[in-house]
Every structure is written in structure tokens, then in C-alpha cells.
Amino acid sequence: MSKPVIEISPDGGRSPLPALNILPSLKNGLSYHEQRDSRHPLGIYNLSIARICDKVAKCADKLEAYWQVSSSLDSMDNVNVVQGEIIDYLELTMYAAAEHVDDLEEIAKTFYKSDRESASSADVRLLKKAIKPLRDEISNFANTIKHAHGRLRLYETDFHHDGHTLRVLGFFIEGWVDGGVAPHRVLHSGGKAVLSVTSFLWNVLTYVGEMSVALAEFLTRIKACDPGIVEARDTSIFRKTAIKLARLPLYSFDDDHPFDRVKWVLSLDDKLAGETNSGIYGSLLTSWSKSGDGKFGGFRLLYAGDGITRTFKIANPTKLDLKHWE
């Protein structure tokens, strides 16, 4: 079975977010958003996409700065500053992703006169089932940070590969385990102690694409617009965010990389190729060597002291998987 495809093109004509093709062309009177004191469904969607892409893009910028400054031996202060900013934007990305799920459910509600009617709709239930993976994964992270004193911590290790040295970066959500702090027992169960930061961001962007398909299917089921007037819509903010991620190394630790389930295609003209070229080893245009020789240097778990805790569990990923663009 072939993978679903998310394609980014220079002119934005490949419709990576199919829901955006339908929402501007809704039938008159189909939505009850005004009676329900809500934004137009397109407005909800546009704001939600803008928010989540903004957070992913800013986190990508901080990660690129991390890889640029960490190559200098005299830049520890700068690295520490950037690490703090990466943590902040990873958290904000989690919150924006969790809110995106809520936004899609809010969009679905606008097509029904009441919450009760919406809750009883088989079409809404199918939509919720389709977007459940994001709610389960991202919401668990966000809720643990907000309500269970979970803290996001970075993990880094030096990787020497075919003449290149790169400090690969991961993260985990801290929890209290057997008398000390360690990767959260529930969130990091099943041997998934450390997750790749770039894999996580690609996962969020991939979920946005997958959920757009689910929303488009919902809109099609309820006959939200006439098929003949649906047009491919440019999605510049989504395209620009994907390009920022393509400038970063592509790898996973203990997590399943989203490229294993969805194929991303970046069709680049000369302008986009220039915007994609960061020169960072492992990125789209400076890809990993196919060499099987590699070794690790020292590793660092960036815990934070609290003035009383004395036990900090050592955690390492079980693997590093270098991902190659197809």
C-alpha cells in the first residue's frame, strides 16, 4: 500500500492542505457560525494554521541557530541561550498543536445548530476518530507539562560520521520515577526514552496535513460545497514552514519518524532550493553520507536543579536513525 503524499511546490498549487480548497467555497447558509457566535469556519482554520506554523517555524529557526553556534568551541553561552529558546518553542508548538485539534472540532460544530446535534452526528464522530492520534499524542505531552509538573528537557550527543561531526539533539518530558527525575514513565514507555526534536516538528506538520485531509473528507460527506467550484489554494505559510524544517538534519531517536507513514515531496525551483540550503549536515541539500561507519562522543542530559532533588536518572536513546529524503 502506497503512502499518503504531502507535496510542496514553488507555486503552492499542489494543495498540501485540502481542507483549504473547500472552506472558501461553502454553500450559502450551510454554516451556523453566526447564530453560534463563532468565526467563519475558514477564519478558524486560517488562524489555527497560522498559529501552529508560526510556532514550528520559530522553533526551526532556533534549532538552526543551535547547529550554527554549537560548531564553535567558544560559543557555550550562546548555546545555552538557544537551548532555552528551543525548549520554549517546543512547548508552544505542543500547545498550538493541541489547540489545532480543538479548532477542527469547533469548525465541525459550526455546521450544526447546537452542540447536541453536533455530538450525535456520525460525520462528526468519523472526523474525531480520524484526528484522534494527534489528540492522544500531543495532548498528553501538553497536559503533562501544564497540569502534572512535567518539564521538557533536552538531550544532546556528538555524532561522528564519515568525516562530519554533528551534535544531534533530542528531548524528553521529565517525570518523577523511583525517587528521582527521569523521562516520564507513561509518556516515554515502550523504550522511547528520547525523541528527536526535528522528527517531532515534522510529525506536527505531518499531522496538520493528515488532519486537513480528514477535515476535507468531513466537508465532502456533508456536501459543504459544490465539487465543481473547488479550487487548489496556495498555502504559503505551510510551504515556508516545511522549507525551514528541510534546512535541518533529518533523523529520529526512539520515536517513529513521520516519513515512515507519509511521503513528503518538496519540488524545488532555483529560488526554493536557495532557501532550503543551510549547509547543515543531514539536511535536505547536505544529506547524510550512506556510510555505515559512525560513533558517538559524550552525551548531555540537560536537567535543571530544584534545590532539593539529588537523584537524576541517566537516559540514552536506544538508537539513532538517519533519514534520507526519497
pLDDT (tens digit, 9 = 90+) per residue, 88-140? 999 999 999 999 999 999 999 999 999 999 999 999 999 999 998 878 888 88
- pLDDT confidence bin for 14, thresholds 50/70/90: low
Distance separating alpha carbons of residues 223 and 213, to the nearest angstrom:
15
pLDDT in tens, 28-50: 888 989 899 999 999 999 999 99
- pLDDT confidence bin for 198, thresholds 50/70/90: very high
3-state secondary structure at position 31? coil
| pLDDT value at 149 more than 80 | no
pLDDT in tens, 275-322: 999 999 999 999 999 887 888 888 887 777 677 877 777 788 889 999
| pLDDT value at 73 more than 70 | no
- pLDDT confidence bin for 70, thresholds 50/70/90: low
Percent of the chain with pLDDT over 70: 94
| pLDDT value at 75 more than 80 | no
The type of residue at 24 is: P
Q: Torsions phi, psi of 19, nearest 5?
A: -60, -30
| pLDDT value at 74 more than 90 | no
- pLDDT confidence bin for 184, thresholds 50/70/90: confident
Q: Torsions phi, psi of 153, nearest 5?
A: -125, 145
Say if CB 166 and CB 302 are below 8 A apart. no
Surface-to-core class of residue 2, CB atoms within 10 Å of its CB (0-12 exposed, 13-18 middle, 19+ buried) = exposed
Q: Has this prediction a pTM greater than 0.95?
A: no
Largest distance between two CA atoms of the chain: 66
Q: Give the cell for residue 133.
A: 492520534
Q: Give the cell for residue 207.
A: 499531522
Average of pLDDT values for 242-257?
96
